[in-house]
Structure 1
Amino acid sequence: MITCFDIGGSAIKCAVATADGRIGDLQRVPTPARDFDAFTAAIRALIAARGPSRGVAISIAGVVDPLDGRIKCANIPCIDGRALAADLAAAFALPVWIINDADSFALAEAQAGAGRGHANVFGLILGTGVGGGLVFNGRLIGGPGGFAGEWGHGPVAAQFAGMQAIPRFPCGCGQTGCLDTVGGARGLERLHLALHQRSLDSRAIIDAWQAGDADAERTIACYIDLLSGPLAMLVNTVGASVLPVGGGLANSAPLIARLDRAVRAAILRKTDAPIIVPGQSGAEPGLIGAAWLGLEKLGGAHG
């Protein structure tokens, strides 16, 4: 048995996983985001409450440097810059494995969601921004917390889309013109404001588009144009046969279907079957992905 966590800035979610990848009942406590001792104590208490554990697997919204193990995590300041896995392993006297949330989603979808039966799966996140993770022949590429799958960064966003001039927006990574600036919910809102000088949240834009609003249609057309080319290149490069989508924008089935049609029209391999589809791994992909990571590290042994 391993203890699995999905940790965000506001809550720590915990469950145990058995050797078949199933997770048990979920427990949730607030995240002590600014006090590392309290953060460690909260996790220790959850481990103890669940009984003997062979290891701890954590899905977290952060990026771990594959060279020194230090995490970059803006929404949990007390762990930012720490070699978190090593620090927690020393505190708990247990092996600790950390996976970022996008990689966790990709692994959950490959093992228990829309990617089952596919050799190569790219888990696509369309949330506040964009992200992703690649599972190749059942194994996560880039290691837990590595940089593989971060398709949203790099100054490659088109300056024209849907016959419209598109500004090059500054990105939080320090570059200008990243796909992350236009690909997520905030990007959709940014596009709408730039095109129409009107501020709407992403849900309102999608609702207006579905209702036939011409301005919203133009925004969606630009959005699809901006994303479909890079995603087609990604599919051609990594050979993924399915791209399950997570994040808030995945809740719009018409948006995901339109993006899928545009990407399939642009890739080399022609197929009538959708390849960009809503995720199917359930309500807790972070815990499921962490569970599969831990089981992989333990060699699939019974716990």
Structure 2
Amino acid sequence: MADYRLGIDLGGTKIEIVALDREGREVLKQRVPTPHGDYEKTVLAVRDIVLDAESKLGCIPGSRVAAGQASSTLGIGCPGSIVPQTGLLDHCNATWLNGKPFDRDIAHALHRPVRMENDANCFALSEAVDGAGMGKSVVFGAIFGTGMGAGIVANGRLLSGLHRLAGEWGHTPLPWLKETDLPLRPCFCGQEGCQERYLCGQALATDWLGEGHVSAKGIAEALLAGDEKAEKAVDLFVDRMARACARMIDFLDPDVIVLGGGVTNLPNLCERVSAKLANHITGGFPCETPIVMNKHGDSSGVRGAAWLWDVQESGACRTPDAAWPAGRFR
């Protein structure tokens, strides 16, 4: 086992690194701005923050460790997925990374193996290992923020799926449509009625303030102050989330649902959604699936990236390949 697990959370505006010791305690955390729109500089920024962290910790990659030296592993969480057939990143909101062999370039820039997964998968893994889902057999980690995504961890293993699409429920249709859901909202994926168009920050802002509004910041305070429009918007959000969770329980039946993302910071959200589940669960029996808030907050994603190198080897591993063009990153 390595002395340190390093995790990277790669976002559109910042790159964050965390180091966990063997007991999972955080011993280092730092961040730098993401070089917006520049692929090469993004690769180099990740390389540099990793090298700087290892220098501060006095460690080197586990594959090159010598006697008496501390070792480290590296996992990366990113807002997209590697397409298995091509090895290229896709569906990433940091659009300059799409169509690029990001994990391969990082492996070669650092001359070491890396593991990389979707950031929602990293969130779920973090909460399953030592967070709100700790000790549960099947953990469904759901993120509601700018978009909507999820990850599934079963018996300590991250489930990515054949096409690495497991947990991508944001682009499944919102179930049990009601008049308030119509007309179907168009989605950037090309379909209509995707859950993500009803259960993200912009959707909540639109229901609260009207078309053209993209941020729901302040809605929790407005709700507590008795704002009728805020109450109506949150009621719609809760009902839609309950329907989405009920459909997911029908086909996965997890031991716990862990919520994350900025949109989930609404008063009594877990309790309100739980109260509505029984209206939709198949069979009509009381639903006992606990819906809980995450333990690690904004750190869940980066901690999950670090845990990609646990003993069960979650996540896809990329090792430096001698045949890969040396290029500008070596």
Aligned in 2, Cα 1:216/1:251: closer, same or farther, shift over 3 Å? closer
SS of residue in 2 equivalent to 1:277: strand
Aligned in 2, Cα 1:68/1:189: closer, same or farther, shift over 3 Å? same
Instruction: Show structure 2 runs of 5+ residues with no match.
Output: 63-72, 315-330
**Equivalent position of 1:281 in the other structure:** 296
Identity %: 33
Give the Cα separation in 2 of the matches to 1:97 and 1:198: 39
SS of residue in 2 equivalent to 1:280: coil
SS of residue in 1 equivalent to 2:17: strand
Give the Cα separation in 2 of the matches to 1:12 and 1:203: 23
**Equivalent position of 1:217 in the other structure:** 231
Q: Residue 207 of structure 2: which of 191, 206, 220 is its match?
A: 191
Q: How many pairs align?
A: 294
- Per-residue CA shift, 1:112-147, capped at 9, x if unaligned? 111011111100111122111111111111169921
- Per-residue CA shift, 1:42-86, capped at 9, x if unaligned? 222222221302332101112221333211254434422112112
**Residue 198 of structure 1, CA deviation:** 9.5
Q: Residue 257 of structure 1: which of 271, 274, 285 is its match?
A: 271
Counterpart contact for 1:130–1:180, Cα < 8 Å: yes
1:15-54, aligned counterparts within 5 Å? 15-49=18-52, 50=54, 51-54=59-62
1:140-289, aligned counterparts within 5 Å? 140-142=158-160, 146-156=164-174, 158-160=176-178, 164=180, 166-192=182-208, 201-267=215-281, 270=286, 275-289=290-304
SS of residue in 1 equivalent to 2:233: helix
SS of residue in 1 equivalent to 2:166: coil
Counterpart contact for 1:33–1:75, Cα < 8 Å: no
Instruction: Show structure 1 runs of 5+ residues with no match.
Output: none
- Code of the residue aligned with 2:280 in structure 1: it is A
Counterpart contact for 1:193–1:200, Cα < 8 Å: no
Give the Cα separation in 1 of the matches to 2:266 and 2:126: 21
1:4 is aligned to 2:7: yes
Give the Cα separation in 1 of the matches to 2:163 and 2:203: 24
TM score, norm. by length of structure 2: 0.79
Q: What is the root-mean-square deviation in Å for CA atoms of aligned residues?
A: 2.7
TM score, norm. by length of structure 1: 0.86
